[in-house]
Amino acid sequence: MINYKEALNIIEKNVTSLAVKDTDVKQAFGINAKTLVSKSPVPALSNSAMDGVAIQTKETIEITKDNPKRFEIKNTIYAGDKFIASDENDVSFEIMTGALMPKSFDAVIPIEQAKIITENNKRFLILDEEIKKDRNVRLAGEDFLPGDIILEKGSSINPYNLMAILMNGIDKVQIFQSPKIGIIATGSELDGNNESSIPNTNGPYIEACVKRLGLQCTNQLHAKDDPCEIKNKIKKCIDSGSDIIITSGGVSAGKADFVPSVLLDMGAEILFHKVWIRPGKPILMAKLPDGKILFGLPGNPVSVAVGFRFFVNNAIRLMQGQAKENYLVAVNQLEFKKSRKFCFFAKAKTTVNDQGKLEVIILEGQESFKLNPFREANSWAIIPEGLEAINKDQEIEIVPLNIGEAINL
C-alpha cells in the first residue's frame, strides 16, 4: 500500500495535459495554455483620470495665493478625440475622463475644484497654487509596460484578467481543452426498486462537483453489482469521449467488489489500489488501454468526496496544465487523535481570529457515512501520516471545501 504523496506522484506521472486550442478571447473560458506578455504600453498614451482642465505644470511654478495666474481654456477634449499638440503658453484645455492629454500637458485640475471665469466670451482657469506634475493623469505604461506578464500559463481566465487581456489588444488566446468526465455509481442497493434500497448520492454529488468546475459530464450512470454491467457502463463512458471516468463503490475486498477485476479484464493497468488515507482507503486509479484515466472511489459518500477533492481534482488540474493545489495553514483549536498510519482528511470549520489568522476546528462526526457535519463545514483539514494527534494551537494544512473557491468564512 502507498501513502498519499506517493499516490499524487503516480497521478502526476501518468496524467498529461490535453490538447490546446485557439479561442476568441471574448469566448475564452478555461485555463490559459500560454503565458501572455504585454507587447505595448497600457495605457498607450497618457490620458485624463477625470473630468477637469488640463494644464502644463511648468507654467505654475511661481503661482501663489498672492500671485495667481489665469489660463485661457481653448476648447474641450473628449475621450476618443485625436491627440492634440499645442505650443501656446498660458492656455489650458477642458478635458473629459479618458481623453488623451495634449502634448506637454501633464496635470488635470478636477472640474469641481477648478475656478473658472468668463470674460469677453472667453473662459479662463484661475490658479492660485503650484500644481504637481502627473496629478490626475493616467500615464502611458502605468498599468502595463512591454514585457510585463498579463496572465501566466495555467491560470484560469476569469472576468477580471479578461479585461487586462482585452486592454492589451489581444483577441486570440490558447486554452487547454477541458476534460470530460464520465460517472458510474455502482451498487445493487442503489436500484431503488426494493425496501433495502438506499439513495444514490454519489452519482449526483460527483456530477454537481464536475459542473461546479465548469466541466462537461458525459454520463451519470448506475451499474448493479454485476461485472458485465459495470464493463458495459465503462465502455459507454469511453464511447462518450470521457477523459476521466469516475466509479463509486466496488473497489474494496468484498464478494461484490468487481471494479478491479473488470478493469483487469478490459486490459487496464492498475496504477494504485489502496492508499494509507482515511476516509477512502480502497481508492483505485487505473489507465485504460486507450490511455483514459479511471478513478475507482469507495462507496461511502464522504470517501467519494475525499477521492474527488484530493485525487480526481489533481488529475483535472494536470490535464489543464495547472500545478498541484497549494494548501493553506490554520491553527488547530481542538485536539484530535487518529491512527499514525493514515493521512486523515477531516471535515472542518475554519474562521479568522481578531489578529487575522486562520483558525480551524475539526468537527465531530468524521465517519465516512456521516453527511450531517457538512452543514457546518467550510473546509478540509489535512492531517498527515506519522502523527497520532493534532494538538491545540498546532498549525495544520487546510483547503476550501469546494474546489477552486475561497473558504466561506
Position 404 scores a pLDDT of: 87
What is the arithmetic mean of pLDDT over 227-256?
95
What percent of the chain stands above pLDDT 90? 92
Position 87 scores a pLDDT of: 84
> Strand (E) positions, 78-188?
91-95, 107-110, 115-119, 122-127, 137-138, 149-151, 156-157, 172-176, 180-186
Q: Considering only residues 331 and 191, tell me which one the structure prediction assigns the higher pLDDT.
A: 331
Position 51 scores a pLDDT of: 98
Nine cell digits for residue 312: 480526481
What is the arithmetic mean of pLDDT over 11-39?
95
Position 114 scores a pLDDT of: 95
What is the arithmetic mean of pLDDT over 141-147?
97
pLDDT band of residue 324 (cuts 50, 70, 90) is: confident
Rounded to the nearest 5°, which phi and psi values hold at 105? -85, 130
pLDDT at 86 over 90: no
Q: Where are the alpha helices (DSSP H) in 179-219?
A: 202-212
Provide the 8-state DSSP code for 310.
I
Position 291 scores a pLDDT of: 95
Task: Round the average pLDDT of the chain to a whole number and report it.
Answer: 95
Do strands 36-37 and 269-273 pair parallel, antiparallel, or not at all (unpaired)? unpaired
Q: What pTM value is reported for the model?
A: 0.88
pLDDT at 2 over 80: yes
Q: Structural domains in the chain? A: 4-18+178-319 (3.40.980.10), 21-41+149-176 (3.90.105), 47-138 (2.170.190.11), 328-400 (2.40.340.10)
Residue type at 61? I
Query: In this structure, are residues 99 and 47 in contact, taking their beta carbons and an 8 Å threshold?
Result: yes
Position 5 scores a pLDDT of: 96
Position 307 scores a pLDDT of: 98
Position 254 scores a pLDDT of: 87
pLDDT band of residue 351 (cuts 50, 70, 90) is: very high
Do strands 244-248 and 293-297 pair parallel, antiparallel, or not at all (unpaired)? parallel
Residues whose CB falls within 8 Å of the CB of residue 49, separated by 6 or more in sequence, listed in order = 97, 108, 136, 137, 138
Query: In this structure, are residues 112 and 53 in contact, taking their beta carbons and an 8 Å threshold?
Result: no
Query: In this structure, are residues 365 and 349 in contact, taking their beta carbons and an 8 Å threshold?
Result: no
314: how many CB neighbours lie within 10 A of its CB? 19
Q: 143 burial class (0-12, 13-18, 19+ CB within 10 angstroms)?
A: middle
pLDDT at 221 over 90: yes
pLDDT band of residue 256 (cuts 50, 70, 90) is: confident
pLDDT at 66 over 90: yes
What percent of the chain stands above pLDDT 70? 99
pLDDT at 193 over 80: no
Position 253 scores a pLDDT of: 85
Position 65 scores a pLDDT of: 94
Residues whose CB falls within 8 Å of the CB of residue 160, separated by 6 or more in sequence, listed in order = none
pLDDT at 195 over 80: no
**260-302 tens-digit pLDDT:** 999 999 999 999 999 999 999 999 999 999 999 999 999 999 9
Position 409 scores a pLDDT of: 87
Question: Residue-wise over 278-311: b if at least 16 C-beta within 10 A, else e?
Answer: bbbbbbbbbbbeeebbbbbbbbbbbbbbbbbbbb
The residues that bridge with 275 in the sheet, in sequence order, are 2
pLDDT at 191 over 90: no
